[in-house]
């Protein structure tokens, strides 16, 4: 679009009149935007206006041309655009317009990094960080596809704020934090390595013990079927749900 605007501006400043002029562009969306009467783009509106001015005293057309097909002018424009991208420029104005999608992707990337650093550096949510080590902006969590009851069970498991002895002891409901096996009964213990649930773990996850590093990769659907199958674990987690 900027190229068409500059070509038309140049013709206007040279006071070209009574000529047959064709401006070729390989950008079809630009040509479509120029054909539209109403546009939200200031650049498109400016380009449209200057084309009208030049067209009022010349026979002016804007035509689409396929890119990268060896057309003389198009090849020169591509080469100059490439050279322009590689140049360093210190001006406040960019030499070439930057696509909005590129700017948005950069902003998203920057925000995600900021969020990730904050998540990593915070001292709270230690259990949740084991299940969710990386934040995500764009991809929606698979937890959002779960029904209300299943979601509450998964959130309770991930945060550790559920009817397990460790949490119940912390809030003063249970006199001790211990599992029947003798270990501290956290949600992670019940899912990952409580010996009482080895058979169910083999059945649902195909392994007897799950390491802490593997927890984040477990699918929520499998976790739910395991929780339901483990009797006392399911009972405890469902009570809190
Ligand atoms: Zn146990």
Dihedral sign for Cα 136, 139, 144, 150, please: negative
Distance 183 CA to ligand 1 centre (A): 6
Tell me the two tokens of residue 98: 């930057």
How many Å lie between the centroid of ligand 1 and the Cα of residue 193? 7
Structure tokens at 231: 């009797």
| pLDDT tens digits along 153-162 | 898 899 988 8
Specify the pLDDT at position 134: 84
d(CA 222, CA 2): 54
- pLDDT value of residue 166: 92
Q: How far is CA 241 from the centre of its chain?
A: 31
d(CA 117, CA 113): 6
In tens, the pLDDT along 27-38 reads 888 888 887 756
Q: Record the pTM.
A: 0.54
Contact 45, 3 (CB under 8 A): no
Maximum average pLDDT range among 110-119, 136-145, 229-238:
110-119
Task: Say how many Å lie between the CA of residue 236 and the centre of ligand 1.
Answer: 13
Near ion ligand 1, which residues have CB within 5 Å? 179, 181, 183, 194
**pLDDT tens, position by position, 205-227:** 999 999 988 998 899 999 999 99
Name the nearest CA neighbour of 27 among 53, 3, 59: 3
Pairwise pLDDT comparison (239 vs 226), residue with the higher score: 226
pLDDT at 238 > cutoff 70: no
Name residue, tokens 């991930």: 158
Listed in sequence order, the residues at least 6 apart from 101 whose beta carbon sits closer than 8 Å to its beta carbon are none
Q: What is the pLDDT of residue 234?
A: 54
Residue 105: both structure tokens together: 């992707």
Whether 160 and 168 have beta carbons less than 8 Å apart is answered as no
Distance 142 CA to ligand 1 centre (A): 28
Q: Is the pLDDT of residue 103 over 80?
A: yes
Banded pLDDT at 201 (limits 50, 70, 90): very high
More confident residue, 37 or 103: 103
């Amino acid at each position: 679009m900027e190229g068409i605007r500059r070509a038309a501006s140049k013709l206007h400043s040279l006071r070209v009149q009574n000529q047959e002029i064709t401006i070729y562009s390989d950008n079809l969306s630009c040509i479509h935007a120029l054909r539209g009467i109403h546009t939200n783009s200031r650049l498109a509106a400016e380009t449209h206006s200057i084309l009208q001015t030049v067209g009022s005293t010349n026979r002016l057309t804007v035509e689409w041309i396929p890119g990268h097909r060896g057309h003389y002018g198009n090849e020169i424009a591509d080469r100059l655009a490439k050279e322009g991208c590689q140049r360093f420029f210190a001006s406040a104005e960019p030499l070439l317009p930057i696509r909005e999608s590129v700017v948005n992707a950069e902003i998203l990337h920057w925000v995600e990094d900021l969020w990730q650093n904050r998540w990593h550096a915070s001292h709270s949510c230690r259990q949740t960080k084991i299940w969710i080590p990386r934040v995500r902006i764009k991809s929606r969590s698979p937890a959002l596809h779960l029904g209300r009851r299943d979601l509450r069970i998964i959130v309770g498991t991930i945060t550790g704020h559920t009817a397990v002895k460790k949490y119940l002891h912390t809030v003063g409901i249970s006199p001790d934090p211990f599992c029947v096996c003798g270990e501290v009964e956290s949600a992670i213990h019940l899912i990952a390595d409580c010996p009482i649930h080895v058979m169910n773990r083999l059945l649902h996850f195909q392994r007897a013990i799950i390491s802490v590093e593997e927890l984040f990769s477990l699918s929520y659907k499998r976790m739910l079927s395991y929780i339901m199958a483990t009797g006392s674990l399911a009972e405890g987690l469902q009570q809190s749900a």
